[in-house]
Amino acid sequence: MPSAKVLESKQAVVAALTERLKNACAGVIVDYKGITVADDTALRKELREAGVEYTVVKNTLLRLAIAATELNGLETVLDGTTAIATSADDYVAAARILSKFADTHKEFNIKNGFLDQEVIDTAKIAGLAKLPSREVLLAQVLGAFQAPISAFARAIQAIVDKDGEEAAPAEAEAPAAEEAAAE
């Protein structure tokens, strides 16, 4: 039987994991075996820079945290080594970074994930990984909004330029006509 102190610390970990799962918009569970410390450090740095929280967890503690959420079905992949990556505001960052890492490290596997409190399979995670980052998507949307405005501005400028060219010869003829009348 574990001591009261150990039990309290494990309950605190489960409570923190539960809160993290509830507040995350997306998460990915991976099997991290077979990677070096240097690879793990580089992976953690990239995830941290993208705003993704990545931690190695005990299967039992994660199973208890999942039971307190609506993520039924995630507990089926909890065997072997397990780490979880969650993001509170970026839907694709964890999937993109971890899928890219899994492509270059054969023993590193994506087990499962969730999106908006719904469990998704590895095929959907692979689909998410192919989406561009939030910044790229925003730039594409702004470009799409800006294109009609830019085309309109060019059309107006072309009209102004055309009217300016027609007005210039007429203005040049007017002083010549005035000089002829003065003589």
Does residue 84 contact residue 27 with C-beta atoms inside 8 Å? yes
Q: What is the pLDDT of residue 176?
A: 53
Q: What is the pLDDT of residue 170?
A: 53
Q: How far apart are CA 57 and CA 170, in angstroms?
A: 82
Q: pTM for this structure?
A: 0.68
Q: Which of 73, 115, 123, 71 is nearest to 92 (CA)?
A: 115
How confident is the prediction along the chain (183 residues), in pLDDT tens digits per residue? Answer: 678 888 888 889 889 998 988 888 889 999 988 888 999 999 999 999 989 999 999 988 988 888 888 888 788 888 888 999 999 888 888 899 999 999 888 888 898 888 888 888 888 888 878 877 667 777 877 877 777 877 778 888 888 888 767 665 555 555 555 555 555
Both structure tokens of 6: 């150990």
Q: How far apart are CA 95 and CA 91, in angstroms?
A: 8
Q: How far apart are CA 27 and CA 124, in angstroms?
A: 12
Q: How far apart are CA 87 and CA 32, in angstroms?
A: 18
Q: What is the pLDDT of residue 7?
A: 87
Does residue 55 contact residue 47 with C-beta atoms inside 8 Å? no
Tell me how crowded residue 180 is: count the other CB atoms within 10 A of its CB.
8
